[in-house]
Structure 1
Amino acid sequence: MIELIDIYKKYQLGKENITILKDINIKIFDGEFLAIMGPSGSGKSTLMNIIGCLDRASSGLYLLNKQEISTYNDEDLAKVRNIHIGFVFQQFQLLPRLTAIENVELPMIYAGVSRKERRARAEDALRKVGLSERMKHLPNELSGGQKQRVAIARSIVNNPTLILADEPTGALDTKTSADIMEQFVRLNEAGTTIVVITHEPEVAEYASRTIVVRDGKILAPNSNIKERKERKER
Protein backbone atom coordinates (compact mmCIF):
# COMPACT_ATOMS: atom_id res chain seq x y z
CA MET A 1 0.00 0.00 0.00
CA ILE A 2 1.08 3.58 -0.72
CA GLU A 3 0.25 6.41 1.64
CA LEU A 4 1.01 10.08 1.10
CA ILE A 5 0.62 12.22 4.22
CA ASP A 6 0.51 16.04 4.18
CA ILE A 7 2.47 16.28 0.94
CA TYR A 8 3.47 19.70 -0.35
CA LYS A 9 5.51 20.47 -3.45
CA LYS A 10 7.03 23.92 -3.96
CA TYR A 11 9.34 25.42 -6.55
CA GLN A 12 11.49 28.53 -6.37
CA LEU A 13 10.82 30.80 -9.34
CA GLY A 14 13.07 33.80 -9.00
CA LYS A 15 12.19 35.35 -5.66
CA GLU A 16 8.77 33.72 -5.61
CA ASN A 17 7.78 30.40 -4.05
CA ILE A 18 5.29 28.51 -6.24
CA THR A 19 3.23 25.83 -4.49
CA ILE A 20 2.25 23.06 -6.92
CA LEU A 21 0.74 20.56 -4.46
CA LYS A 22 -0.95 21.43 -1.18
CA ASP A 23 -1.89 19.17 1.73
CA ILE A 24 -2.09 15.95 -0.33
CA ASN A 25 -3.32 12.91 1.60
CA ILE A 26 -3.88 9.70 -0.37
CA LYS A 27 -3.98 5.99 0.25
CA ILE A 28 -3.52 3.66 -2.73
CA PHE A 29 -4.43 0.11 -1.82
CA ASP A 30 -2.85 -3.07 -3.14
CA GLY A 31 -4.73 -4.33 -6.19
CA GLU A 32 -6.57 -1.05 -6.74
CA PHE A 33 -7.24 0.62 -10.10
CA LEU A 34 -7.04 4.35 -9.43
CA ALA A 35 -7.49 7.26 -11.84
CA ILE A 36 -6.04 10.68 -11.03
CA MET A 37 -7.85 13.31 -13.08
CA GLY A 38 -7.32 16.99 -13.54
CA PRO A 39 -6.87 19.69 -16.18
CA SER A 40 -3.49 20.87 -17.43
CA GLY A 41 -1.65 22.68 -14.67
CA SER A 42 -3.67 21.04 -11.90
CA GLY A 43 -0.64 19.29 -10.39
CA LYS A 44 -1.60 15.73 -11.35
CA SER A 45 1.64 15.03 -13.23
CA THR A 46 3.69 16.38 -10.32
CA LEU A 47 1.73 14.08 -8.04
CA MET A 48 2.45 11.15 -10.35
CA ASN A 49 6.16 11.95 -10.31
CA ILE A 50 6.18 11.89 -6.52
CA ILE A 51 4.23 8.61 -6.37
CA GLY A 52 6.65 7.16 -8.93
CA CYS A 53 9.75 8.33 -7.03
CA LEU A 54 10.77 10.48 -9.99
CA ASP A 55 10.55 13.61 -7.85
CA ARG A 56 10.56 14.43 -4.15
CA ALA A 57 7.98 16.27 -2.09
CA SER A 58 9.05 19.49 -0.42
CA SER A 59 7.47 18.25 2.81
CA GLY A 60 5.30 15.42 4.07
CA LEU A 61 5.65 11.65 4.31
CA TYR A 62 5.63 8.94 1.64
CA LEU A 63 5.04 5.42 2.94
CA LEU A 64 5.47 2.43 0.64
CA ASN A 65 4.45 -0.86 2.23
CA LYS A 66 4.72 0.92 5.60
CA GLN A 67 8.32 1.95 4.90
CA GLU A 68 9.05 5.67 4.87
CA ILE A 69 10.90 6.51 1.67
CA SER A 70 10.64 10.30 1.94
CA THR A 71 14.31 10.53 2.93
CA TYR A 72 15.75 7.94 0.51
CA ASN A 73 18.73 9.04 -1.56
CA ASP A 74 18.70 8.92 -5.38
CA GLU A 75 20.23 5.44 -5.53
CA ASP A 76 17.65 4.02 -3.13
CA LEU A 77 14.80 5.66 -5.05
CA ALA A 78 16.14 4.16 -8.28
CA LYS A 79 16.00 0.73 -6.66
CA VAL A 80 12.40 1.34 -5.56
CA ARG A 81 11.44 2.32 -9.10
CA ASN A 82 13.15 -0.68 -10.65
CA ILE A 83 11.71 -3.22 -8.23
CA HIS A 84 8.25 -1.90 -7.39
CA ILE A 85 7.07 0.42 -10.19
CA GLY A 86 6.44 0.08 -13.92
CA PHE A 87 5.92 3.20 -16.05
CA VAL A 88 3.85 3.77 -19.18
CA PHE A 89 4.04 7.19 -20.85
CA GLN A 90 1.97 8.97 -23.49
CA GLN A 91 4.82 9.10 -26.01
CA PHE A 92 5.87 5.47 -25.40
CA GLN A 93 9.54 6.30 -24.62
CA LEU A 94 10.90 3.43 -26.76
CA LEU A 95 14.50 3.51 -28.00
CA PRO A 96 14.22 3.75 -31.81
CA ARG A 97 17.22 1.56 -32.65
CA LEU A 98 16.12 -1.34 -30.44
CA THR A 99 13.55 -3.95 -31.41
CA ALA A 100 10.40 -4.45 -29.40
CA ILE A 101 11.91 -7.30 -27.42
CA GLU A 102 15.14 -5.37 -26.78
CA ASN A 103 13.13 -2.41 -25.46
CA VAL A 104 11.25 -4.72 -23.11
CA GLU A 105 14.52 -6.21 -21.86
CA LEU A 106 15.94 -2.85 -20.73
CA PRO A 107 14.54 -2.75 -17.16
CA MET A 108 15.93 -6.23 -16.55
CA ILE A 109 19.41 -5.18 -17.63
CA TYR A 110 19.36 -2.52 -14.91
CA ALA A 111 18.07 -5.16 -12.48
CA GLY A 112 20.99 -7.49 -13.28
CA VAL A 113 18.88 -10.30 -14.79
CA SER A 114 20.80 -12.81 -16.90
CA ARG A 115 20.57 -12.59 -20.70
CA LYS A 116 18.75 -15.90 -21.05
CA GLU A 117 16.17 -15.02 -18.42
CA ARG A 118 15.75 -11.54 -19.86
CA ARG A 119 14.85 -12.91 -23.25
CA ALA A 120 12.40 -15.46 -21.83
CA ARG A 121 10.63 -12.91 -19.65
CA ALA A 122 10.49 -10.31 -22.43
CA GLU A 123 8.96 -12.83 -24.82
CA ASP A 124 6.37 -13.78 -22.22
CA ALA A 125 5.48 -10.12 -21.55
CA LEU A 126 5.04 -9.40 -25.26
CA ARG A 127 2.81 -12.45 -25.65
CA LYS A 128 0.63 -11.18 -22.80
CA VAL A 129 -0.02 -7.95 -24.69
CA GLY A 130 -0.64 -9.71 -28.00
CA LEU A 131 2.64 -8.88 -29.77
CA SER A 132 4.19 -12.31 -30.23
CA GLU A 133 4.44 -11.62 -33.99
CA ARG A 134 6.12 -8.22 -33.58
CA MET A 135 8.98 -8.98 -31.20
CA LYS A 136 11.77 -8.24 -33.68
CA HIS A 137 10.19 -5.12 -35.18
CA LEU A 138 11.67 -1.66 -34.60
CA PRO A 139 9.39 1.04 -33.16
CA ASN A 140 9.04 2.79 -36.53
CA GLU A 141 7.60 -0.47 -37.89
CA LEU A 142 4.82 -0.51 -35.27
CA SER A 143 1.52 1.34 -35.02
CA GLY A 144 0.82 3.69 -32.10
CA GLY A 145 -1.21 1.03 -30.34
CA GLN A 146 1.51 -1.56 -30.82
CA LYS A 147 4.14 0.83 -29.45
CA GLN A 148 2.04 1.38 -26.35
CA ARG A 149 1.66 -2.40 -25.93
CA VAL A 150 5.45 -2.68 -26.04
CA ALA A 151 5.60 0.01 -23.37
CA ILE A 152 3.11 -1.95 -21.24
CA ALA A 153 5.13 -5.15 -21.72
CA ARG A 154 8.24 -3.26 -20.60
CA SER A 155 6.39 -1.95 -17.54
CA ILE A 156 5.35 -5.42 -16.35
CA VAL A 157 8.49 -7.40 -17.13
CA ASN A 158 10.01 -6.95 -13.66
CA ASN A 159 6.69 -7.96 -12.05
CA PRO A 160 6.11 -4.59 -10.34
CA THR A 161 3.45 -4.19 -7.69
CA LEU A 162 2.42 -0.83 -9.21
CA ILE A 163 2.04 0.45 -12.77
CA LEU A 164 1.90 4.22 -13.27
CA ALA A 165 0.46 5.27 -16.62
CA ASP A 166 0.71 8.96 -17.57
CA GLU A 167 -1.90 9.85 -20.22
CA PRO A 168 -1.37 6.40 -21.82
CA THR A 169 -4.03 6.95 -24.51
CA GLY A 170 -3.25 10.59 -25.32
CA ALA A 171 -1.55 9.77 -28.63
CA LEU A 172 -4.03 7.06 -29.71
CA ASP A 173 -7.34 6.93 -31.54
CA THR A 174 -10.58 5.97 -29.76
CA LYS A 175 -10.62 2.28 -30.62
CA THR A 176 -6.93 1.76 -29.85
CA SER A 177 -7.37 3.70 -26.59
CA ALA A 178 -10.12 1.30 -25.53
CA ASP A 179 -7.89 -1.69 -26.37
CA ILE A 180 -5.05 -0.26 -24.27
CA MET A 181 -7.32 0.44 -21.32
CA GLU A 182 -8.64 -3.12 -21.48
CA GLN A 183 -5.03 -4.25 -21.19
CA PHE A 184 -4.78 -2.33 -17.94
CA VAL A 185 -8.05 -3.84 -16.71
CA ARG A 186 -6.70 -7.35 -17.33
CA LEU A 187 -3.46 -6.54 -15.53
CA ASN A 188 -5.44 -5.14 -12.60
CA GLU A 189 -7.68 -8.21 -12.48
CA ALA A 190 -4.50 -10.31 -12.29
CA GLY A 191 -3.50 -8.40 -9.14
CA THR A 192 -1.37 -5.45 -10.29
CA THR A 193 -2.10 -2.05 -8.79
CA ILE A 194 -2.79 0.47 -11.57
CA VAL A 195 -2.67 4.26 -11.32
CA VAL A 196 -3.64 6.17 -14.47
CA ILE A 197 -3.09 9.91 -14.85
CA THR A 198 -5.61 11.40 -17.26
CA HIS A 199 -7.76 14.38 -18.13
CA GLU A 200 -10.28 12.21 -20.01
CA PRO A 201 -13.45 11.04 -18.19
CA GLU A 202 -13.73 8.11 -20.62
CA VAL A 203 -10.36 6.81 -19.44
CA ALA A 204 -11.16 7.35 -15.76
CA GLU A 205 -14.29 5.20 -16.12
CA TYR A 206 -12.07 2.13 -16.39
CA ALA A 207 -10.80 2.71 -12.86
CA SER A 208 -12.55 1.60 -9.68
CA ARG A 209 -11.82 4.93 -7.98
CA THR A 210 -11.13 8.45 -9.22
CA ILE A 211 -9.29 11.26 -7.48
CA VAL A 212 -9.67 14.74 -8.92
CA VAL A 213 -6.81 17.22 -8.57
CA ARG A 214 -7.47 20.90 -9.07
CA ASP A 215 -5.18 23.83 -8.23
CA GLY A 216 -2.83 21.47 -6.43
CA LYS A 217 -5.48 20.10 -4.10
CA ILE A 218 -7.46 16.87 -4.05
CA LEU A 219 -11.21 17.17 -4.38
CA ALA A 220 -13.60 14.60 -2.90
CA PRO A 221 -12.79 11.11 -4.30
CA ASN A 222 -15.38 9.26 -6.36
CA SER A 223 -16.11 5.58 -6.90
CA ASN A 224 -16.38 4.28 -10.46
CA ILE A 225 -17.14 0.67 -9.51
CA LYS A 226 -20.71 0.86 -10.82
CA GLU A 227 -19.69 2.53 -14.09
CA ARG A 228 -16.90 0.00 -14.67
CA LYS A 229 -19.26 -2.94 -14.05
CA GLU A 230 -21.87 -1.53 -16.42
CA ARG A 231 -19.25 -0.93 -19.13
CA LYS A 232 -17.97 -4.51 -18.87
CA GLU A 233 -21.51 -5.87 -19.16
CA ARG A 234 -22.23 -3.95 -22.37
Structure 2
Amino acid sequence: MIELIGITKSYQIGKESIDILKNIHLEINDGEFVAIMGPSGSGKSTLMNIIGCLDRPTSGTYLFDGEDISTYKDQQLAKIRNVAIGFVFQQFQLLPRLNALKNVELPMIYAGIGKKEREQRAKEALEKVGLSDRMHHMPNELSGGQKQRVAIARAIVNHPKLILADEPTGALDTKTSFAIMEQFTELNQEGTTVVVVTHEQEVADYAKRVIFVRDGMITNVETGGEGDIHESY
Protein backbone atom coordinates (compact mmCIF):
# COMPACT_ATOMS: atom_id res chain seq x y z
CA MET A 1 0.00 0.00 0.00
CA ILE A 2 2.75 2.45 1.00
CA GLU A 3 6.22 2.69 -0.47
CA LEU A 4 8.63 5.44 0.49
CA ILE A 5 11.75 5.63 -1.67
CA GLY A 6 14.65 7.86 -0.63
CA ILE A 7 12.44 10.22 1.36
CA THR A 8 14.18 13.20 2.93
CA LYS A 9 12.73 16.16 4.84
CA SER A 10 14.75 19.30 5.55
CA TYR A 11 13.98 22.70 7.01
CA GLN A 12 15.91 25.87 6.31
CA ILE A 13 16.73 27.85 9.46
CA GLY A 14 18.65 30.93 8.44
CA LYS A 15 21.56 29.74 6.35
CA GLU A 16 21.51 26.29 7.90
CA SER A 17 19.60 23.29 6.53
CA ILE A 18 18.30 20.91 9.20
CA ASP A 19 17.69 17.32 8.08
CA ILE A 20 14.67 15.78 9.85
CA LEU A 21 14.40 12.63 7.70
CA LYS A 22 17.35 11.16 5.82
CA ASN A 23 16.93 8.80 2.86
CA ILE A 24 13.98 6.82 4.25
CA HIS A 25 13.07 3.59 2.48
CA LEU A 26 9.92 1.93 3.82
CA GLU A 27 7.16 -0.40 2.64
CA ILE A 28 3.89 -0.99 4.48
CA ASN A 29 1.66 -3.68 3.05
CA ASP A 30 -2.11 -3.67 2.84
CA GLY A 31 -3.59 -5.07 6.07
CA GLU A 32 -0.47 -4.64 8.22
CA PHE A 33 -0.37 -3.36 11.80
CA VAL A 34 2.83 -1.34 12.15
CA ALA A 35 4.25 0.68 15.03
CA ILE A 36 6.79 3.47 14.55
CA MET A 37 8.96 4.07 17.61
CA GLY A 38 11.71 6.51 18.46
CA PRO A 39 12.78 9.11 21.03
CA SER A 40 11.57 12.71 20.94
CA GLY A 41 13.08 14.52 17.96
CA SER A 42 13.83 11.29 16.11
CA GLY A 43 11.64 12.21 13.14
CA LYS A 44 8.86 9.69 13.75
CA SER A 45 6.06 12.27 13.78
CA THR A 46 7.43 13.90 10.62
CA LEU A 47 7.46 10.47 9.01
CA MET A 48 3.84 9.94 10.02
CA ASN A 49 2.88 13.36 8.64
CA ILE A 50 4.41 12.48 5.28
CA ILE A 51 2.70 9.07 5.22
CA GLY A 52 -0.58 10.83 6.05
CA CYS A 53 -0.12 13.48 3.33
CA LEU A 54 -0.08 16.20 5.99
CA ASP A 55 3.43 17.22 4.94
CA ARG A 56 5.52 16.92 1.82
CA PRO A 57 9.00 15.43 1.59
CA THR A 58 11.86 17.62 0.42
CA SER A 59 12.92 14.86 -1.96
CA GLY A 60 12.15 11.23 -2.70
CA THR A 61 9.15 9.30 -4.01
CA TYR A 62 5.94 8.34 -2.21
CA LEU A 63 3.83 5.60 -3.77
CA PHE A 64 0.33 5.15 -2.32
CA ASP A 65 -1.51 2.13 -3.72
CA GLY A 66 1.02 2.08 -6.53
CA GLU A 67 0.38 5.71 -7.47
CA ASP A 68 3.17 8.27 -7.26
CA ILE A 69 1.66 11.05 -5.14
CA SER A 70 4.95 12.88 -4.59
CA THR A 71 3.95 15.66 -6.98
CA TYR A 72 0.23 15.80 -6.19
CA LYS A 73 -1.28 19.22 -5.67
CA ASP A 74 -2.77 20.19 -2.30
CA GLN A 75 -6.32 19.48 -3.44
CA GLN A 76 -5.37 15.99 -4.60
CA LEU A 77 -3.61 15.24 -1.31
CA ALA A 78 -6.63 16.56 0.63
CA LYS A 79 -8.84 14.06 -1.20
CA ILE A 80 -6.54 11.17 -0.26
CA ARG A 81 -6.53 12.32 3.38
CA ASN A 82 -10.31 12.53 3.46
CA VAL A 83 -11.17 9.33 1.61
CA ALA A 84 -8.29 6.90 2.12
CA ILE A 85 -6.78 7.83 5.51
CA GLY A 86 -8.29 8.10 8.98
CA PHE A 87 -6.41 10.04 11.67
CA VAL A 88 -6.39 9.55 15.45
CA PHE A 89 -4.43 11.99 17.62
CA GLN A 90 -3.27 12.04 21.24
CA GLN A 91 -5.48 15.01 22.17
CA PHE A 92 -8.56 13.70 20.32
CA GLN A 93 -9.08 16.89 18.23
CA LEU A 94 -12.85 16.94 18.77
CA LEU A 95 -14.76 20.16 18.16
CA PRO A 96 -16.04 21.19 21.62
CA ARG A 97 -19.35 22.68 20.43
CA LEU A 98 -20.42 19.59 18.49
CA ASN A 99 -21.77 16.42 20.07
CA ALA A 100 -20.22 13.02 19.40
CA LEU A 101 -22.49 12.30 16.43
CA LYS A 102 -21.77 15.62 14.73
CA ASN A 103 -18.01 15.24 15.32
CA VAL A 104 -18.08 11.87 13.58
CA GLU A 105 -20.04 13.32 10.67
CA LEU A 106 -17.37 15.93 9.85
CA PRO A 107 -15.22 13.92 7.40
CA MET A 108 -18.35 13.01 5.44
CA ILE A 109 -19.32 16.67 5.08
CA TYR A 110 -15.96 17.31 3.40
CA ALA A 111 -16.55 14.23 1.24
CA GLY A 112 -19.88 15.66 0.04
CA ILE A 113 -22.08 12.92 1.54
CA GLY A 114 -25.75 13.80 2.11
CA LYS A 115 -27.19 14.51 5.56
CA LYS A 116 -29.26 11.34 5.92
CA GLU A 117 -26.40 9.02 4.96
CA ARG A 118 -23.96 10.99 7.14
CA GLU A 119 -26.11 10.52 10.21
CA GLN A 120 -26.67 6.82 9.54
CA ARG A 121 -22.98 6.09 8.98
CA ALA A 122 -21.95 8.17 12.01
CA LYS A 123 -24.37 6.20 14.20
CA GLU A 124 -22.99 2.92 12.88
CA ALA A 125 -19.41 4.03 13.54
CA LEU A 126 -20.24 5.06 17.12
CA GLU A 127 -22.03 1.77 17.70
CA LYS A 128 -18.95 -0.05 16.42
CA VAL A 129 -16.76 1.60 19.07
CA GLY A 130 -19.32 0.98 21.82
CA LEU A 131 -20.72 4.51 22.16
CA SER A 132 -24.31 4.10 20.98
CA ASP A 133 -25.45 5.57 24.32
CA ARG A 134 -23.19 8.65 24.06
CA MET A 135 -24.04 9.92 20.59
CA HIS A 136 -25.61 13.16 21.73
CA HIS A 137 -23.10 13.93 24.49
CA MET A 138 -20.77 16.90 24.13
CA PRO A 139 -17.00 16.29 24.38
CA ASN A 140 -16.87 17.83 27.88
CA GLU A 141 -19.39 15.20 28.99
CA LEU A 142 -17.15 12.33 27.89
CA SER A 143 -14.20 10.63 29.57
CA GLY A 144 -10.79 10.56 27.90
CA GLY A 145 -11.37 7.02 26.66
CA GLN A 146 -14.79 7.91 25.29
CA LYS A 147 -13.34 10.94 23.48
CA GLN A 148 -10.72 8.72 21.87
CA ARG A 149 -13.43 6.27 20.80
CA VAL A 150 -15.30 9.14 19.17
CA ALA A 151 -12.05 10.05 17.40
CA ILE A 152 -11.70 6.45 16.19
CA ALA A 153 -15.31 6.45 14.97
CA ARG A 154 -14.58 9.67 13.08
CA ALA A 155 -11.43 8.07 11.60
CA ILE A 156 -13.25 4.99 10.29
CA VAL A 157 -16.52 6.57 9.11
CA ASN A 158 -15.30 7.03 5.52
CA HIS A 159 -14.06 3.41 5.48
CA PRO A 160 -10.39 4.37 4.96
CA LYS A 161 -7.74 1.92 3.80
CA LEU A 162 -5.29 3.28 6.36
CA ILE A 163 -5.57 4.50 9.95
CA LEU A 164 -2.73 6.63 11.31
CA ALA A 165 -2.62 7.07 15.08
CA ASP A 166 -0.15 9.49 16.69
CA GLU A 167 0.42 8.59 20.37
CA PRO A 168 -3.25 7.52 20.65
CA THR A 169 -2.93 6.40 24.29
CA GLY A 170 -0.66 9.21 25.49
CA ALA A 171 -3.44 11.01 27.38
CA LEU A 172 -5.12 7.86 28.73
CA ASP A 173 -4.73 5.66 31.80
CA THR A 174 -3.48 2.09 31.51
CA LYS A 175 -6.87 0.36 31.51
CA THR A 176 -8.31 2.73 28.92
CA SER A 177 -5.16 2.43 26.79
CA PHE A 178 -5.66 -1.32 26.73
CA ALA A 179 -9.25 -0.91 25.51
CA ILE A 180 -8.24 1.55 22.79
CA MET A 181 -5.47 -0.72 21.50
CA GLU A 182 -7.94 -3.59 21.43
CA GLN A 183 -10.10 -1.40 19.21
CA PHE A 184 -7.22 -0.88 16.77
CA THR A 185 -6.51 -4.61 16.81
CA GLU A 186 -10.11 -5.38 15.92
CA LEU A 187 -10.07 -2.89 13.05
CA ASN A 188 -6.84 -4.41 11.76
CA GLN A 189 -8.30 -7.91 11.95
CA GLU A 190 -11.16 -6.65 9.78
CA GLY A 191 -8.63 -5.66 7.11
CA THR A 192 -7.76 -2.03 7.85
CA THR A 193 -4.06 -1.11 7.71
CA VAL A 194 -3.03 0.49 11.02
CA VAL A 195 0.10 2.56 11.68
CA VAL A 196 0.68 3.75 15.25
CA VAL A 197 3.37 6.23 16.28
CA THR A 198 4.33 5.66 19.91
CA HIS A 199 7.14 5.84 22.42
CA GLU A 200 5.50 3.18 24.61
CA GLN A 201 6.72 -0.39 24.21
CA GLU A 202 3.43 -1.74 25.58
CA VAL A 203 1.59 -0.07 22.72
CA ALA A 204 4.12 -1.15 20.09
CA ASP A 205 3.72 -4.75 21.25
CA TYR A 206 0.30 -4.81 19.64
CA ALA A 207 1.83 -4.32 16.21
CA LYS A 208 3.03 -7.12 13.97
CA ARG A 209 6.04 -5.04 12.89
CA VAL A 210 7.92 -2.32 14.75
CA ILE A 211 9.99 0.30 12.91
CA PHE A 212 12.59 2.18 14.95
CA VAL A 213 13.54 5.73 13.96
CA ARG A 214 16.50 7.64 15.34
CA ASP A 215 18.17 10.82 14.06
CA GLY A 216 15.90 10.83 11.01
CA MET A 217 16.81 7.32 9.89
CA ILE A 218 15.24 3.88 10.21
CA THR A 219 17.67 2.04 12.45
CA ASN A 220 15.88 -1.25 12.97
CA VAL A 221 12.76 -3.21 12.06
CA GLU A 222 11.46 -5.99 14.30
CA THR A 223 8.56 -8.37 14.32
CA GLY A 224 6.17 -7.19 17.02
CA GLY A 225 4.81 -9.13 19.95
CA GLU A 226 1.33 -9.50 18.41
CA GLY A 227 -0.41 -9.30 21.75
CA ASP A 228 2.31 -9.39 24.41
CA ILE A 229 0.84 -6.14 25.73
CA HIS A 230 -2.13 -8.08 27.10
CA GLU A 231 0.09 -9.55 29.80
CA SER A 232 2.07 -6.40 30.59
CA TYR A 233 -1.16 -4.52 31.21
TM-score (norm 1): 0.97
Structure 1 position 155 matched with structure 2 position 155: yes
Runs of 4+ in structure 1 deviating by more than 4 angstroms, as ranges, are 229-234
Q: Which residue of 2 aligns with 1:64?
A: 64
Asked if residue 26 in structure 1 is aligned to residue 31 in structure 2, the reply is no
Shift, 1:171, TM fit: 0.3
Q: Summarize deviations over 1:29-65 as a string: whole Å, max 9, x none.
A: 0000000001110000000000000000000000001
Does 1:172 find its partner at 2:145? no
Shift of 1:167: 0.2
SS where residue 54 of structure 1 aligns? Answer: coil
Q: How does 1:93-132 map to 2 (within 5 A)?
A: 93-132=93-132
Deviation at 1:4, TM superposition (A): 0.2
For residue 95 of structure 1, report the CA deviation from its aligned partner.
Answer: 0.2
User: Could you tell me which residue of structure 2 aligns to residue 143 of structure 1?
Assistant: 143
2:226 corresponds, among 225, 228, 231, to 228
CA deviation map 1:140-177 (0-9, x unaligned): 00000000000000000000000000000000000000
Partner of 1:49: 49
1:196 alignment counterpart? 196
Provide the C-alpha distance between the structure 2 equivalents of 1:233 and 1:176, rounded to a whole number of angstroms.
15
| CA deviation after TM superposition for structure 1 residue 137, in Å | 0.2
Q: Deviations over 1:91-130 (max 9, x none)?
A: 0000000000000000000000010000000000000000
Q: Does 1:89 align with 2:89?
A: yes
Task: Determine the C-alpha separation between the residues in 1 that align with 2:47 and 2:95.
Answer: 26
| 2:196 partner amino acid | V
Report the AA paired with residue 59 of structure 1: S
Task: Report the CA distance between 1:84 and its aligned residue.
Answer: 0.5
1:147 aligned counterpart, secondary structure: helix
Separation (CA, whole Å) in 1 of partners of 2:229 and 2:204: 12
Q: What is the match of residue 214 of structure 2?
A: 214
Mapped to 2, the partners of 1:65 and 1:3 lie a distance apart of 8
| C-alpha spacing 1:205/1:229, structure 2 compared with 1 (3 Å) | closer
What is the rounded CA distance, in whole Å, between the counterparts of 1:33 and 1:164 in structure 2? 10
Q: Give unpaired runs (5+ residues) of structure 1.
A: none
Partner of 1:6: helix, strand, or coil?
strand
Name the aligned partner's letter for residue 25 of structure 1: H
Which whole-Å CA distance do the structure 1 matches of 2:125 and 2:163 have between them?
14
Report percent identity of matched pairs: 70
Deviation at 1:220, TM superposition (A): 1.9
